[in-house]
Amino acid sequence: MLACALASCLALAAPAALAQSTAATIRGQVTVDSAPATDAKITATNVATGLSRSVQSGANGSYSVAGLPPGTYRIDVSAGGQTNSKTIAVQVGQTATLNLSTGGVAETAPTADATDIDKVTVTAAPVFETKTSEVATYVSSKQIEALPQASRNFLAFADIVPGVETRTGTDGSISLRSGAQLANGINVFIDGVGQKDYVLKGGISGQDSTRGNPFPQLGIAEYKVITSNYKAEYDQLSSAAVSAVTRSGTNEFSGSLFWDGTFTGWRAPTVIEDKSGNKIRSKEEQYGVAFGGPILQDRMHFFLTYEGKDYLTPKEVAPGRNFRIDQLPGFLQDAARDTKAAPFHEDLYFGKIDFAIDEANLLEFTAKHRKEEEVTAGSIGGVNAGAYGTSNAGEETRLDLRYQYSAADWLNDAHLTFEDVSFGPRPLTDAPGYNLRVPRADQVNLNNPVMETIFNTGGSANLQNKGQKGYALQNDFTFFGWQGHTIKAGFKYKLVDISAYQRQPANPQFRYDINRSLTQPYEVNFSSTGIGQTGPVETDNKQFGIYLQDDWEVNEHLTLNLGLRWDYETSPAYEDFVTPAAVVAALRNYPNINNARVDYDYNDFISTGNNRKAFKDAWQPRLGFSYDFAGDQRHVIFGGAGRSYNRNQFDFLARERYNLAFQSYTYFFNGPGHVCTASTPDRCLTWDPKYLNQNELDALVAANPNRGTQVVLLDNDLKTPYSDQFSLGMRNSFGMFGHDWNSSVTVMHVLSHDGILFSVGNRRPDGSFFPPGRTFGNTTPANLPGFGQLLIGRNAVETRLTSLLLSLEKPYTQESGWGVSLAYTYSDAKENRNNSDTFSFDYPDLDNVAFTEALGIAKHRLVATGIFDLPWDMTFSAKLKLTSPIARESLNFMAVDVNNGYFDPYFPGEDIAFKQLDVGLQKVWDTGTDLKLRVRGDVLNVFNWRNWNNFDSGRGNGFNPANPNVPARPNPNFGRRNGDGIDQPTRTFKLTFGVDW
């Protein structure tokens, strides 16, 4: 009933549209004796599912078969009384050109083989798509299946695309980024539906701070990565777009199951394990099953898959400042030696039913469910004891009902979707946190020095419960009846409820100075109920997007891609927020920001509930071209320019409510080396063990709940982050060594703007940010009256990227039995805030701050892959990754006095700072029945290369005018390795068993 109702509504709703980004198109021209063949019949039939589409050629002999699920198609042509068939494979979102001719000399394409049957010749277009303005690369099903890998996260293969980087964090999480922007600039579209995370920073749901996978790899057929110049149908992103298509059932019942794993004895020890002689127990097991087949032959099919994952990730305690465990106080040593492996479990389910009602009508329904539980690997190890960890439970459900109607010269594609996503970290231990610290090296003899963490145990600080839930309707209309033009028009309307709860810290954190006292803390940081709401921050956002795209094939040489998009989103939690009266009064009674020298107007941050409006200027022109020099798809120059808006993470928009709900307080305990009677008398206490009780801490602030709490306010005219993208490149298809090769060279330039920055709003009595004679460094002006520090959120963070992208590929084919690829990226990446951080405490704003090297980005990156069929049904595969050093952050005291350093990027390590070679070998046994057995071994990091990640980041101490007897002291070890930390994996063997039928 629901499907029928949807079909009826959408038939009436045409022509409006969205997201046909995964469908393929086969187009071309039919000629008879070199003249256009009018009214020739062209039928495309999917050889696996029986899906069939027929069209007639137009007056000039042109035809277009659109909206095809990626796969292999038999093309039947009837012209001049003759019939012929040709098989062609099309990829996700691809437009393949297939010219047909009868009589005379056959038309040929550069990399195609021609088959002559009677007088009709069908020439298959190359798989490599040359005539597109997109900077795009395909990841094939063969590459996903054959290349060695560790995590079964399908996005891990995206780094074989120039301009895209996949990194495995120290917590085992996979992050995907493109260029200078962070992961939140990414969007992934699965079957045309965006998977955007509206709250967290991972870009898409299920990819923030997790070792899990966003989607079962068995359910992914193939995908395309677009790094720049995507068309107008792509929304909510500012860097790369990933467009993936899911697997479907076919006319044959088939299935597969697998298990793969690696254990403690199958991996080389880490450097720390090798030195200590203690190898921490570890385990990585992954398993799954897939099954599909026909419900109605040629018309209706199903596909089901499940994948599970069980990890035990070894985590090693390594106290800060190069302390050894035996140098810690005796009562902490057992906790430090209680090293644990961080457990993780995930279940992933996916199901799909497709129903070709007839040649014109197609229905599809897909469902995905993800559930994971873990002790977050990033919360234990390093300076954190096992007890100090954080557990996390994440869950996600996504449903998609799709209806497609195909007519002679137009196509309508619609989606009705539902999503429900949650993320909920919480402390493993419900107890006060014990933070052992030591004065920073340059401040050992100072009173109230800046402190560095050595070791943490007890209860951790992280408590969150965040998620999104909602429905969307997207619809896409494509018209290709106008000669030379393919026109798309589309819209999306979405209702999504967003909820975010956060208490930081969840447990009070007591800080101890190792040089003063191990039983009396010098300060405590805790949270307590404030003046705002104590429950989650909730909002019911509405999103609307509309676009128009014309792909105009001007002639056989020139193609123009002309698009325009507009997006709009309301967020009542931000727009309807009312600044509490107590905060408004404090702002108006704070002379420091009522001074003429203040660089901002505090009234711009006072919200009445009526003076904030949703951003409405998200117009996004997207223009591209391609020019085929000879009209034969061998040598094509392409380029484009466009603007793309991302969105503001709700975590940012909710901060002014977070900080007023559970307010964070810091109180000080008077003692030697940490005297607080003069500096913070209103928060200076005499230590009493009773303060270890949360109730006693709550009582401290009951009379004045605002004292010392941080206030966060957002600009009333907040904009949406966006990027401007420019590209120019050339693609070539050529023959070499008797095989078809493809190459591409592209220069890409991306400028991103309007990232949110929270900076200090407090000012000095004269209205200045810095004291006299200072131009940078931390500032400590008086607190907001009755409160603590004031932070103001504005649009400020920017990045700049210029990249050279090179690729060379000989695609794998069954006939040749091998394939290779090379992807090289040169990146000149800059940013005006280190790592695009959302906080700045050392500058009043970023208006005059220099752009520096973007952290985490390597200048040079090379990724090479190979797949080779061997005798006896064996397949060998390999993947090599090499990068130059990535930019890291250092603390530079040489340019200023010893108390006031600033952060400065640098590139430590060898010329090749990261190197990893992975290989795989698979053997398949054909039992003579429908059952096939396979065994596979992968060796990750074959040569056990050490990719070091601990480097001395202190440049040294400069001359201090306040103490001229202290000479400048450069750090002779700056940039050198100062620890045993390495990027994983060490050399690891992984075994896989599988059965296919």
Taking only the tens place, the pLDDT of each residue in 262-285 is 999 999 998 888 888 888 888 999
Q: In angstroms, how far is the first alpha carbon of the chain from the final one?
A: 35
- Whether the per-residue pLDDT at 896 is higher than 70: the answer is no
pLDDT-derived band at 904 (thresholds 50, 70, 90) equals confident
Q: How is residue 279 written in tokens? A: 């190898």
How far is the CA of 453 from the CAs of 42, 64, 225, 293, 954, in angstroms?
Answer: 71, 64, 41, 58, 16
Among residues of the chain, what percentage have pLDDT more than 70?
Answer: 90
- Whether the per-residue pLDDT at 878 is higher than 80: the answer is yes
Task: Classify burial at 719, counting beta carbons within 10 Å of its beta carbon; exposed 0-12, middle 13-18, buried 19 or more.
Answer: middle
pLDDT digits (tens, 9 = 90+) for 981-996: 888 899 999 999 999 9
Looking at residue 899, its pLDDT comes to 52
Pick from 365-374, 850-859, 898-907, 965-974: least confident: 898-907
Mean pLDDT of 79-93: 79
Q: Are 460 and 433 in contact (CB under 8 A)?
A: yes
Whole-number Å distance between alpha carbons of 809 and 823:
9
Looking at residue 366, its pLDDT comes to 97
Looking at residue 64, its pLDDT comes to 83
- Whether the per-residue pLDDT at 619 is higher than 80: the answer is yes
pLDDT digits (tens, 9 = 90+) for 33-59: 777 777 788 888 888 888 888 888 877
Looking at residue 627, its pLDDT comes to 96
Whole-number Å distance between alpha carbons of 331 and 967:
39
pLDDT-derived band at 115 (thresholds 50, 70, 90) equals very low
pLDDT digits (tens, 9 = 90+) for 438-459: 987 767 667 788 889 999 999 9
Identify whether 705 is preceded by a cis peptide bond (ω within 30 of 0): no
pLDDT-derived band at 966 (thresholds 50, 70, 90) equals low
Looking at residue 56, its pLDDT comes to 83
Exposure string (b/e) for 265-284, b if CB count within 10 Å is 16 or more?
ebbebbbbbeeeeeebebbb
Looking at residue 130, its pLDDT comes to 81
**Got the DSSP string for 897-915?**
-TT--EEEEE--S-SS-EE
- Whether the per-residue pLDDT at 11 is higher than 80: the answer is no
- Whether the per-residue pLDDT at 610 is higher than 80: the answer is yes
Whole-number Å distance between alpha carbons of 143 and 637:
27
pLDDT-derived band at 895 (thresholds 50, 70, 90) equals low
Helix (H) or strand (E) holding 122: strand 120-123
- The amino acid at residue 427 is P
Looking at residue 473, its pLDDT comes to 97
Mean pLDDT of 193-218: 90
Mean pLDDT of 617-633: 94
Q: Which of 558, 721, 692, 575 is nearest to 625 (CA)?
A: 558
- Whether the per-residue pLDDT at 898 is higher than 60: the answer is no
Please give the order of strands across the beta sheet that includes 662-669: 451-458, 433-439, 509-513, 523-529, 662-669, 684-685
Whole-number Å distance between alpha carbons of 857 and 906:
11
Looking at residue 105, its pLDDT comes to 34
Q: Which of 512, 892, 481 is nearest to 674 (CA)?
A: 512
- Whether the per-residue pLDDT at 768 is higher than 90: the answer is no
Pick from 629-643, 713-727, 946-960: least confident: 946-960
Whole-number Å distance between alpha carbons of 197 and 191:
17
Helix (H) or strand (E) holding 661: helix 655-661
Which is more confidently placed, 763 or 909?
A: 763
Whole-number Å distance between alpha carbons of 220 and 420:
21
- Whether the per-residue pLDDT at 94 is higher than 70: the answer is yes
- Whether the per-residue pLDDT at 516 is higher than 80: the answer is yes
- Whether the per-residue pLDDT at 165 is higher than 50: the answer is yes
Mean pLDDT of 61-73: 84
- Whether the per-residue pLDDT at 162 is higher than 60: the answer is yes
pLDDT-derived band at 970 (thresholds 50, 70, 90) equals confident
Mean predicted lDDT score pLDDT of the chain:
87
Looking at residue 172, its pLDDT comes to 67
Which is more confidently placed, 21 or 955?
A: 955
pLDDT-derived band at 599 (thresholds 50, 70, 90) equals confident
Q: Are 442 and 893 in contact (CB under 8 A)?
A: yes
- Whether the per-residue pLDDT at 779 is higher than 70: the answer is no
Q: Are 663 and 705 in contact (CB under 8 A)?
A: yes
Identify whether 580 is preceded by a cis peptide bond (ω within 30 of 0): no
Which is more confidently placed, 445 or 711?
A: 711
pLDDT digits (tens, 9 = 90+) for 452-504: 999 999 999 999 999 999 999 999 999 988 888 999 999 999 999 999 888 88
pLDDT-derived band at 120 (thresholds 50, 70, 90) equals very low
- Residue written as token pair 């990565």: 225
Identify whether 508 is preceded by a cis peptide bond (ω within 30 of 0): no
